[in-house]
Chain A
Amino acid sequence: MRFRILGPVSMTPRTPTAAKVRVLLAALLVRANEVVSTESLIDELWDIDPPRTAATTLQVYVSQLRKALADADGPGDAFAAGRRLHTVPPGYRLHVGEDELDLSRFEFLRRSGKEAYERGNFAAASGLLRESLDLWTGVALSGVPHGPVLATTGVRLEELRTVTLEQRIAADLRLGRHHELTGELMELVSRHPYRETLHAHLMVALFRADRQSDALRAFARARRSLVEELGVEPGAGLRKLHDRILRSDPTLAWQEPAAPAGQEPAPALWLPPATADFTGREDVLTVAGKLLPEAAGPAPQPVLVVSGRAGVGKSALAVELARRNADRFPAGQVLLHLRGPRDMALDAGQAMAGLLRRIGPGSEGRPAGQAPPAAAEEAAAVPDGDQEELAERLHRAVQGRRLLVILDDASSEEQVRPLLAALPDTFTVVTSRRTLAGLDGARHLTLDVLRPNEAQKLLASIVGPRLADDPAAAQEIARLCGHLPLAVRVAGTGLAARPHWTAAAWAARLADESAGLSRFVAGDLDVRASLLAGYREVGPAERRAFRLLSLAPVPDFPLWSAAALLGLPAAEAEQVVERLVESQLLGVRRAASGQAYRYSFHRLLRKLALELLADELPGEVESATERLGSAYLGYARYADALLAPGRLPGAAGARPAARAAAAAVAGGSEPALVVGDTPARWFQDEAAGLVDAVRQAHTAGLWRLTWELADALTGWFEAGSVWGDWAATHELALDATLLAERPAERAAVLHSLGDLAWQQRRTRPAADRYESARALFAAAGDRAGQARCLVGLADVALSSGESGHAGKLYAQAAGLFEADGPGHARGQADVLRGLALVSLLAGRTEEALHRFGDFVEAAQRLGDKRWSQFGSRSIDRIQEHVVDWATGRRMEALEVRPGVWLVGVPHAGVTYPGVPQAGVAYPGLPHAGATAAG
């Protein structure tokens, strides 16, 4: 040990002689590997009266200490010279290895001993704790003057030492060392007269050493010192112990842990009836089976935690595991439900009492198939005794017996930890809705819903052969149940009870969204109640989050959308959401590599959350909806500016503002981090959420948000040809602009709907919408808007075989863009594309190549890679077929916009006698002379 502070402060091989340098060393050691500020060190060295040159003097001390450390480490050591003591603003950090400081070693041994004690391994606990105490060489931090930090640290360390000592003595008492302890304890109580735990230990040691009167006198002395010097009576624990000694409570006497040979109790069997139609889970059972100890061997990991959401079948799995492996546990298999009435969690004492009832004498007498009584009922019948005593009795009861214990539906680590400590060598399966990650040394299995085929098999086993007539309906019922075993069981029972209903009709009823979870009740099987139990266990912040997150998009959503819905910074939102995940109220979906995780609801939990949302405070739902929609808007605008630069008017300038807006409502997540540099992928990933956000904004009457969101999606809809969502969102946006009486915004929505109709080759509606939009733009004096509509009309004419007319419309659009001034680079590039196509269809290939060349340059200036690629491949194709185009030979297809092909090109100048061409001569198309807008 190179550094010691558990006693006089020292350093090997040589401790600095100067007191101030030793103080400096001690101050740095108590906060080893942390930065200790200069200010704090000055306080430590000079307290409230530092010299004017304190900072300089400190540097001198630091220099001296560095030298001493370097001398100690030696020239070849890794920590030599300045590398052990670093200058790190705002102070200094001393690097100390794990095994170099006695305090680190003490902490490790103390913690290990405590854990061994909690596991019931008292011999190990005693040894570890004793070793930790042996590290002490005197009063902590002695030999140096104490400033404020060293003084408080010294007190803390002394307290820690005493607590450790108490625990070591407790372990020794459990090991039956009461005779050896009495002397030590007498000395200790005289040194620590107010520590009731030491008095209690002394009383127990004396009592067990058959010195009952001395034990009572020990209590009297303890009481006297407390009353006379502090004016208080001993605490309840000490008084209770005094009473038990007075009445010579036999349970207080120490007993040999091992049961006497030849008195092996009969096997204890307390399992619920077997589930007749237990289905699936073979892989999980195989894995769990491998964790069980062999019939004659020890269990390397005696605790298996099976976690999963309510209704997933944790208890059934644990029981099935016990039944299948009964031969490995000849002393029995016992299940203890850890909940009492109204789903209240039993405390550890109640649970121990219940377990004692099951594994004690007479436990073997319960008839097979009879459900065990609740532990809470039994607990009332258990004689008084504190938890420690119950733990001892339980420990004695299981010692030497090969039992399997199932602790069913645990609420927390705290609830089961004392139980597990009392069952150190008993293989125990703990089921819980929570993952119970805090249970040291336990193996964990997380149970998910059934596989679809397993769920259908379970359903068939409940309903019977008639389900085989309609496998599609069976599949649908299983899906509507989210493949959750409890829900499948309830749905199956419901159908089995109605032989006059078809499976398809039952599926339709289950699918009824308005019915919520009310269909999922059958007798005492109630999915809602089961799911609610998990909800009620979490804190208010998590419950609020659970409700509000039902507004998040399905099937999954990223963290930033949760932050927006909850109105929390991302870090805080993550904590809440992760607690929901831990409580199995929310799931996590692994995303593709490099992407963030996404969260998701089980479909029935989402139904529950939506039901509970009705209880939300007025306005809360609307606010959450607006926050989420605004976040989506910010990110969508950012992504749109990357995908289709210049599409949104002034988008380039608005990008920083959009970024800030999005980040503000989405917990501070920067758009660049959320969207990345592949906007198409982001739009794809978030498509469902974006469309849902438009719907929710419209439902909430947030008209501006509705049309702005729809507008921000237009670039993606056009690039991905996402027709269904395009139509749905823009019809809502159109409605919003109408209700808000915003004709200019209505024009933009109509234009976008015109683009959609054009892509779909619904030529007449396309022309109608462009015309309507153009009229509204004209009324608003928006020349650029009119120009965009003319481009749309020209596209309609072009794909209808009227390329000459299209050329005139493109030219008019170009004039309007020009007249409106700068800022329309995208629109002007689009005109170049149209004119190039006109040239091509007229057989003027050279002109077409020039115009496509101009288009590519314009697209590159815009930064639109999609357009420039389109232009380049158009040039390549023209060059491949120059002769065909120039001679009027009909081409198979022409890419008129990126990814949009006109097939069966109605080529100019080629007619087919007697065969009218499709799609020509639409009366809605304007003529060039009529479109000169002002």
Chain B
Amino acid sequence: MTGANSFQVSGYGPERAGWTRLFARDSLARRLDWPILFAALALSLVGSVLVFSATRNRTEINQGDQYYFLVRHILNTGIGFALMIGTVWLGHRTLRTAVPILYGVSVFLILLVLTPLGSTINGAHSWIQLPGGFSLQPSEFVKVTIILGMAMLLAARVDAGDKPYPDHRTVLQALGLAAVPMLIVLLMPDLGSVMVMVVIVLGVLLASGASNRWVFGLLSAGTIGAIAVWKLHILDDYQIARFAAFANPSLDPAGVGYNTNQARIAIGSGGLTGAGLFNGSQTTGQFVPEQQTDFVFTVAGEELGFVGGGLIIVLLGVLLWRACRIARETTELYGTIVAAGIVAWFAFQSFENIGMTLGIMPVTGLPLPFVSYGGSSMFAVWVAVGLLQSIRVQRPMSA
């Protein structure tokens, strides 16, 4: 393995075009993980329908065009899909060499958020407004670069065959690499993203084979840190209020508990098969705020019922199951760590997002991968899918 990319190796050249080539043993098509691709596409398309249902009546945000969000969600999916193809084409190993650049750029971008260029949406100062009405949420990309950067450091000496496990110095370096952007994101403050990053770091460390002491040490440090954050009032009032409302949603049904309450009412009223697409009264009546982004799952719950909500969870399950297999089957630790980091990311973010609409997790501003409306998130998760595909495509086929 020299880092050459399989796109060329498997022979997709114009001079040898043909279906037989495409489906030949060891061809790209045979090596791609189709279930993941299918699940990601299905989630994105379901998402576009749900986003459409949630926004077609919200005249105050859709600029009078009921298809505004639908078109953009499909466009985002298309761009994400292209980014995935690009990632596979480049290959995760090529990207490994580019990690310092990617890391530098993403840290620069989140620093930019802290400057006056950044803007605040829903209490989180985590956006950069771009011309043309677009906005960028760099913390989404940081998740990818943290995974890639840590994997690069942790896997370097193991993949070289020097050591069976990363040593303490390497782990410390990797943690330092993750800590810098996490601290910046915490300053925004974007607590949800920090939570996801903490879980990513944990997943990465677990998969790297780092000593148990590191894993448990980090776990306890996280717990103490959480207590400290709570006690030292580092959190903003709105964040504490969200947690309090999570603990007791009827606390303030008109205020912070409103989201939680309305979300639960929307989902609960769905029943087995839901009210039918575009028929949900909670959705049509716009009782759930942020329904096209963070609370998109409530649309599925209300209008498609247990069947629709369950389908989303199953699709996420398929994606995560396959990603876990990729992590287990690849021969390099680098690929394993990247895949495991992505699994930790997707799993926790999905759990937190759906969990908060179901009232079992506190409300934080996290999108549901593929389903929620939002360009940055969509691009990042599709890049992650590209990385997973690349890891699978480039592993040696078993005999």
Q: Do A and B come together as binding partners?
A: no
Partner-B contacts on A (CB < 8 A): none
